[in-house]
Amino acid sequence: MTFTLLLNQMIKFFLIMALGYFLFKKNFTNIEFNKRLSRILLNITLPALILNSVLTQTDRPAAFSVFSVFLTAFLLYLLLPLAGIFAARFFPADEKQKNLYAFMTAYSNIGFMGFPIIDALYGSTAVLYTAIFNIMFNLSCYTLGTVIMTRNSETGARINPRHLISPGFLLSFASILIYFINPSFPKALTDTISAVGGITTPLSMLLIGSTLATNSVKEIFSDRFLYFFTVFRQIFLPLVSLGLIHLLIKDELIRNVTCVMMLMPAANSCVMFANEHSADEKLASKSVFLTTLLSIITIPLGVLLLI
């Protein structure tokens, strides 16, 4: 993809986010709308996008490539939590906040930003690879992520296997099975799945913009340490990672998908985990806002390095 096409894609994403922000400020949308739209995306359109990535394959990736992505994703979501814990040790914060910073360092927004951007940049094979990353993300987030958030607590880690079960997670697994079995489906069904999956990108960007509008901009920009954390997470960490990824991964598409995963902002689930584990929910919300805002610039610049 040329820089011009990439820039056009990111401008389009930004404009849809801006529309979402405007709609919230003018009361066309509200927090309840955001929650409902989030459920529609996570339970319907995103699973359809994942499934469509397999159903529309013309040149099926080799089994070795799929295994390589599994291995890459496994290592990524094993090492990122460790990197987050190590980095958070040096942050001027209390223990609970350090746990939250470690979690936010490790887990990125694959669902609402990763899938749409990967789909726009690299197509269906890359979406299939991202589905594998999504599997490992969920496994890591609800196991190692829970351990991170409950470190030094009296109750200790309580891992709930039910949290792993979601339509996106199940469809990611189903997509891998369909890839290996390669069954045929009626055209009407595949066209419907394609159409439903196709609305994921604009709806995701609209939701991100509307969600950003729920934050107090004045309060967010008054927290000076958040500037440092945002630069560390969105610039320093990806730059170091991109160098290592280029050295270790030879397949161009796998390398690019992995790099884009590293460029994503902090996951929306950071706020949910902060709430669930009685951490600083406001800090999580502000961090998601700032990392998402900066990612509008860092994602195209990072992808430009890959061209």
Domain with 165 in it: 3-306
Residue whose tokens read 């930004």: 14
Tens place of pLDDT per residue across the chain (307 aa):
556 777 777 788 889 888 999 999 999 999 899 888 888 887 888 888 888 877 876 667 788 888 999 999 999 999 999 999 999 999 988 888 999 999 999 999 888 788 888 988 888 889 889 988 988 888 888 888 888 888 766 555 555 666 556 676 777 778 778 877 878 888 899 899 989 988 888 888 888 888 888 877 787 788 888 999 999 999 999 999 988 898 889 899 999 999 999 999 998 888 878 877 778 878 888 888 899 889 888 988 888 887 6
Continuous H helices in the chain: 3-25, 31-40, 46-55, 63-88, 95-106, 115-122, 124-141, 144-149, 167-181, 187-198, 200-212, 217-221, 224-231, 237-248, 252-263, 269-276, 281-306
Among the listed residues 294, 305, 286, 291, the one whose alpha carbon sits nearest the alpha carbon of residue 239 = 305
Among the listed residues 14, 5, 91, the one whose alpha carbon sits nearest the alpha carbon of residue 294 = 14
Give the chain's domain count. Answer: 1
- Contact of 257 with 133, CB cutoff 8 Å: yes
197, amino acid identity: G
Q: How far is CA 101 from the centre of its chain?
A: 16
Q: How far are the Cα atoms of 140, 165, 193, 252 from residue 112, in angstroms, in the given order?
A: 18, 18, 18, 24
CA distance 171 to 303: 27
Q: pTM for the whole thing?
A: 0.83
Q: What is the pLDDT of residue 223?
A: 80
> If you count them, how many residues does the chain have?
307
Q: What is the pLDDT of residue 134?
A: 86
Q: What is the pLDDT of residue 163?
A: 57
CA distance 145 to 106: 8
Query: 273 by DSSP, 3-state: which?
Result: helix
Beta-carbon contacts of residue 29 (< 8 Å; ≥ 6 apart): 20, 23, 37, 210
**Structure tokens, 226:** 């958040």
Beta-carbon contacts of residue 60 (< 8 Å; ≥ 6 apart): 179, 182
Q: What is the pLDDT of residue 286?
A: 86
CA distance 245 to 239: 10
> What is the distance between the terminal CA atoms of the chain, rounded to a whole angstrom?
7
CATH of the domain at 195: 1.20.1530.20
